Amino acid sequence: MCHTLYDLYDEMELWGWDDVQHNQWARALKASNQVNVRPMWYIEDTEHEGKRLSWATTTRSLRRLKARIVKVGGKRNQPKEQAWKLADATQWELLFRGEEVFWKTVGDIRDAAYGSILSLIQETVTTQSSVPLLTREGGPGSGGTKHLWILIPKGINGITECERAILQAWLELVDWTGLEVLTGSQVPRKMKLNMDSMGAMHLFKLMYHAGGGTGAPRA
């Protein structure tokens, strides 16, 4: 999920000590992160790091916001979308459900050779909209305005269409402008799978309301 040690250092903000017991590098980076000392290990090439934008970097703002909500006692089944500058209760549920689906499917995505978010298809946004205030990256020139879609392919082994739609809607909360992802920055890939650029958020809303606000359709 992370492409470099520096990426993993940033990721340690969201990991507990129990999560890093299995790996000495992760433990060292967790300790460094806790005391705000960025490692000075020159053992990797960072020249092309931006071109290999990792799934960890891409989704960290969403996962960080959900972690902040949970840390102060926020409950998934007690939406407080206005307090957290979200558009509606659907986006509140999406912060939780989207991360669940992400962890469940990220291995399948990587196995399908989508190791970088930039290897996915991009589509220019034609209607003006913006991502939630607290998921914005604050990068140069970013006001949270959406300028492109990053499209999750249909037909990835191990991922249902329901999961794909949820993940697609979750990624629509990402501030691509703040991450400095430009239109046309896609990394070439030989195999192109079917895409659905429209209606992922709408489909998730239908599922959310059909499930009575639980994020899953009723049986």
Distance CA 101, CA 165 (A): 10
Among 122-131, 139-148, 201-210, the range with the most confident prediction by mean pLDDT is 122-131
Give me the sign of the Cα torsion angle 195, 56, 130, 206.
positive
The model's pLDDT over 25-72, given as tens digits with 9 standing for 90+, comes to 676 666 766 667 666 655 544 444 444 678 888 888 999 899 999 989
Q: Residue 172 has which token pair?
A: 């629509």
| Residue 191 confidence (pLDDT) | 46
Which residue spans within 79-157 are E strands per DSSP? 121-124, 148-151
Q: Tell me the percentage of the chain whose pLDDT exceeds 70.
A: 62
| Residue 14 confidence (pLDDT) | 66
